Structure 1
Amino acid sequence: MGKSRKSEPSGCVLLDSVYAIQSALRKQLSQGSLPPKICGFEKERRELLDLIKRTATTGESNSVLVIGPRGGGKSMLIKSVLDEVTLEANVKDNLMCVHLNGLLQTDDKLALKEITRQLHLENTVGDKVFGSFAETLQFLLEALKSGSQSSKPILFVLEEFDLFAFHRNQTLLYNLFDISQSAQTPICVLGVTCRLDVIELLEKRVKSRFSHRQLHMFNSLNFDEYLQLFVVLLCLGDDFPDRKLAAEWNKQIKVLAADKSIVNILKRLYQYTRDVRSLQQLMFYPVTQLKDDHPELTASDFQESMKLMTTDSKASMLHGVSILELCLIISMKHLSDIYNGEPFNFEMVYKEYQKFAQRRSSMLLFDKPVVLKAFEHLISLELVKPMDNSGGKKVQKEYRLMGLLIHPSQIMTALQNYPHCPTEISQWASCSLAV
């Protein structure tokens, strides 16, 4: 692309070209924004579009569950379908949408309050007192009717649907499904979840009112489509103000996608996970590195991004622990090897640590209270966890059974990069059994 230059998108306002490209790509890669093209879900998209359109135009009530892994594109697909369906004149003014999330609306009272807010019925409810959840919900839906006119169709999108199943008596789900079966108010209930067993969480009375319509979303992109998606996500769209600059940038992205090192990075990520969210995450770091003296994306940017994405967080945490804490972790590793992964307690760890310190390095021999304090710090870091849920009230803390949350390979990886790690400690860690 050469050097950064100035473009004039409108009026006399000058826009720095690199900043403009970076802003456009950041918006394009953010999860709040739809990608320019959705790949791999054509069949699911048609089914969902048809379902919502029937509710909006003919008043047909429906209920459906959209099931797929996290980052698989469920919310993205729903947003895309809603954007398309609301462009139609007979749908735009005839469909009301209510979005609920099981992480936010943790009980039916909060859910009802959010439904009231999104339907703009706060003034209608006022200080009225209702006898039950069903009575309140029915009043809200009746309030949407004007004179003799029937109520507008309503689409309920329930994100984290499985969490609503843990509400008391599943009252919200029961009433929504019950209304969707009646002919009173046309509603479409759209549940979004990553749990394949979500139907088993529903009570019998809720199951009987659910249509049992399910839409399973599993990413079926082959690598060529995945590579094409990489290009699509990094290319500037038709709405970019400087068309000449956009064409130049898009040409450079296609050249970059043909680079062997980029293809290898994408193959590694594709083998690990095929979801779009991870691909977007890979692109964020290179995009943030764009500046006047670095106006193009390079293969080294993506290599660094891949390195950051695949960094082992627990192995990195071990770089910050003290030498004493590191010795305790190695003691636990040896105990796990000796006893085939069985739980251990502090006394066992302390004896293992003492054997090493007395034989190999007297400089590392600390008093028992100091060692116990270091052990408790490892618990607070969640590198070690108690195997019981009693909180240690029934057992002395020195004898509580513990489990190591770090794999031996992570410990060895951390030791290789631990700053100024004493040789005797690394040799001790590499022994198959403590000596």
Structure 2
Amino acid sequence: MSAATVSSSPKITEKMARESPAEQAQVLVKSRICNPNFIFSIFSNPPDSNYSKLKYIISSSLTEACNNSVLLLGPRGCGKVAILELVLEDLLEEYPDMISVIKLNGLLHCDHNCALKEISRQLCQEHQLLFSKMASFDDNAQFMVSMLRECGLAHKTIIFVLDEFDLFAQGKQLFLYSLLDAMQSVTSQAVVIGISCRLDADQLLEKRVRSRFSHRKLLFLPPSREDTERLLEHILLLPTNSSFPHEYVTAFNVKLLKIFADYKFKEIVDTLSYSDSTVNHLQRFLFSTVSHMDLKSGLLSLENFKAALSTIQRQPKLEVLKDCSILELYILVCMKRLEAKEQELRNFNAIMKEYKSIHDTFQTSNYYARNVCLRAFEHLLQRELISFEDNRGHGQSAEFRPVKLLISRPELYQGLKSYPSCPVSSF
């Protein structure tokens, strides 16, 4: 079964048969949200997708009996591992006797002795060989070379998956050199796939390692606005060809499509994406949304999405904001305005100039003396809503040291909205 045909509905068990359609729908959608294969299958169809490119790289290595290497780069939560798992799942079905997968993680196996020992362990386990825990680095290195040769002669490709690849690139990189050098043999058939959130991971490689590493890179990015909309429909809309009552499916989907078209919903998605636009963050948001679904009506509502947004946002900062004084809110708004203007020097003096600018523009009644503002500024430092840019300048007065804001624009905006007597502010 290809990734594009991942089942959209679970098997109907006896327990589910006793549940209401709303409860069954909730279970179905939650199972989708927790299934990366289902979520990322939507990105497997386009020929220019990372799924198609990666599958071509690995499958060509299999069919042409050659060695290859590729890096999967991008921020955490963008689907690098999920797409790779989809590709490997499909290839294992197409070539069941031609692939052996070895998985390492830089957090656990960055030491060259540990990495080679883990490779030996996994190879022994897959080929039903006796593994020796007492084997030395040279013994394990020789065993890996021998297995590469034997698998190559048997027309079997070993795929090495190195997660947290940048951690393998630390130190003398002896493991990477040993692995890539062993692949230079004419008889070996292997593919090395490095996964890293560092976009410069290939630049960390030593010259001798880089010369043996092909410079193929696939860049993974957070989904665009259009991709997010496709994901929402893909995950939340109920299948029409299912055991659900037709009337219920129609009502559920029509209500959802109306919500998707509502500008208030688009604002919720924008707020969500502003803080974190990765698929992982979207999954947490949708799981919370479905958990808030009213099982009596059996339908999702805009209020469910609003409740989910407030649940996953960082609440501690919002709680601190509620206890801020009017003056402290002004200072935070001034700092955000200075950030928007891309002003490099953001210290207490610059904040005071911006504070005066707001006062002169809006003719506010809330204007405080400089010494009062300085105490409020120091209070914000104590509450860790702002902090100094660095630890230098301890001898300087606090009003001259550059500071940075520790809350995001959506958090500040939500804090201002929830304030009962919020002053006028524009940022």
Normalised by the length of structure 2, the TM-score is 0.68
Match in the other structure for 2:253 = 254
Q: Which segment drifts farther, 156-165 or 397-406?
A: 397-406
- Structure 1: distance between partners of 2:150 and 2:249: 52
Secondary structure of the corresponding residue to residue 293 of structure 2? coil
Contact 1:173 1:206 in 2 (8 A): yes
Number of residue pairs the alignment of both structures matches: 389
Contact 1:63 1:188 in 2 (8 A): yes
Match in the other structure for 2:32 = 28
- Structure 1: distance between partners of 2:328 and 2:105: 42
Q: CA deviation at 1:197?
A: 2.8
- Structure 1: distance between partners of 2:88 and 2:151: 28
CA RMSD of aligned residues (A): 5.0
Match in the other structure for 1:63 = 69
Which runs of no fewer than 5 residues in structure 1 stay unpaired?
Answer: 1-7, 350-358, 431-435
Q: Does 1:86 align with 2:88?
A: no
Q: Does 1:45 align with 2:46?
A: no
Q: CA deviation at 1:414?
A: 7.3
Match in the other structure for 1:297 = 300
- Structure 2: distance between partners of 1:408 and 1:69: 19
Contact 2:40 2:82 in 1 (8 A): no
Contact 2:105 2:165 in 1 (8 A): yes
Mapping for residues 116-195 of structure 1, pairs under 5 Å: 116-120=120-124, 123-131=130-138, 136-142=140-146, 150=154, 152-165=156-169, 167-195=170-198
Q: Which segment drifts farther, 147-156 or 43-52?
A: 147-156
Cα 1:249–1:276 change in 2 (3 A) is: farther
Secondary structure of the corresponding residue to residue 295 of structure 2? coil
Cα deviation code 1:375-394 (max 9, x no counterpart): 8853xx4742461379x7xx
Cα deviation code 1:76-134 (max 9, x no counterpart): 2211111111112xx22331112233344443344334434433459423312335xxx
Secondary structure of the corresponding residue to residue 86 of structure 1? helix
Matched residue type, 1:264 = Y
Match in the other structure for 2:78 = 72
Contact 2:67 2:189 in 1 (8 A): yes
- Structure 2: distance between partners of 1:20 and 1:411: 35
Contact 1:116 1:140 in 2 (8 A): yes
Match in the other structure for 1:232 = 234
Which runs of no fewer than 5 residues in structure 2 stay unpaired?
Answer: 1-10, 353-366
Q: Which segment drifts farther, 282-291 or 75-84?
A: 282-291
- Structure 2: distance between partners of 1:207 and 1:147: 25
Match in the other structure for 1:203 = 206
Secondary structure of the corresponding residue to residue 191 of structure 2? strand
What's the % identity of the aligned pairs? 24
Match in the other structure for 2:3 = none
Matched residue type, 1:227 = E
Q: CA deviation at 1:189?
A: 0.6
- Structure 1: distance between partners of 2:387 and 2:112: 37
- Structure 1: distance between partners of 2:168 and 2:55: 24
- Structure 1: distance between partners of 2:46 and 2:181: 30
- Structure 2: distance between partners of 1:306 and 1:148: 52
- Structure 2: distance between partners of 1:375 and 1:220: 35
Normalised by the length of structure 1, the TM-score is 0.67
Matched residue type, 1:405 = L
Cα 1:256–1:112 change in 2 (3 A) is: farther
Matched residue type, 1:384 = S
Secondary structure of the corresponding residue to residue 177 of structure 2? helix
Q: CA deviation at 1:62?
A: 0.8
Cα 1:115–1:332 change in 2 (3 A) is: farther
Cα deviation code 1:158-211 (max 9, x no counterpart): 22323332x211223222322333324311011223433332222211111111
- Structure 1: distance between partners of 2:40 and 2:223: 19
- Structure 2: distance between partners of 1:280 and 1:414: 22
Match in the other structure for 2:320 = 318
